Amino acid sequence: MKKMLAILLAVLFTAGALSPVSAETIPGFPACLSTADMDGSPVDASIFARADVTVLHIWGTDCGPCIAEMPEIAAWISGLPENVQVIGLLTDVWSPDDRTFTLARKILELAGADFVNLLNNDTLAPLTGMIVGTPTTFFLDSSGNLIGEPVLGAYTDKYRETVDELLAR
């Protein structure tokens, strides 16, 4: 099933029916970033300066593959070098009052996934609204600029491979 979906998406991209989104397609991104994480701490574009490579993992609580891969992402994070960080961006959690907020916390807790997750909002909606599906994973430099190719789908091995390639540059 995953292979069939990947082939279908590749055909659609090649035919021009779908355009892969990039952080560069959002006017003013990453400077426009202004949101909060799940702990209520404010977050702006300075979060990218904490690492040479940021893995921006966009996911949703209604996404089975996102939930299924979360333990694998959590395990991967524990072995990452200090100059790499993973940040989650929830497509369907806009505030702590959302029903999905509690569900997201539970998913992360059960997976042992202890990484920063950002709440969606009006500054991020253009990005989350343009992605073809979840999970979608971007790779950003310390200034928040897109580096490498985004990964559409739950392919943790591809995230690892991309980070390794980016660190080898």
- Per-block mean pLDDT, blocks of 10 residues, the chain (169 long): 40 38 56 92 96 97 97 96 97 95 98 96 84 94 91 96 95
What is the rounded distance in angstroms from the CA atom of residue 73 to the CA atom of residue 122? 27
What is the rounded distance in angstroms from the CA atom of residue 46 to the CA atom of residue 82? 17
Q: What is the pLDDT of residue 104?
A: 98
Q: Which residues are within 8 A (CB) of 66 and not within 5 positions of it... i.e. 6 or more apart?
A: 59, 60, 134, 135, 154
Q: What is the pLDDT of residue 25?
A: 53
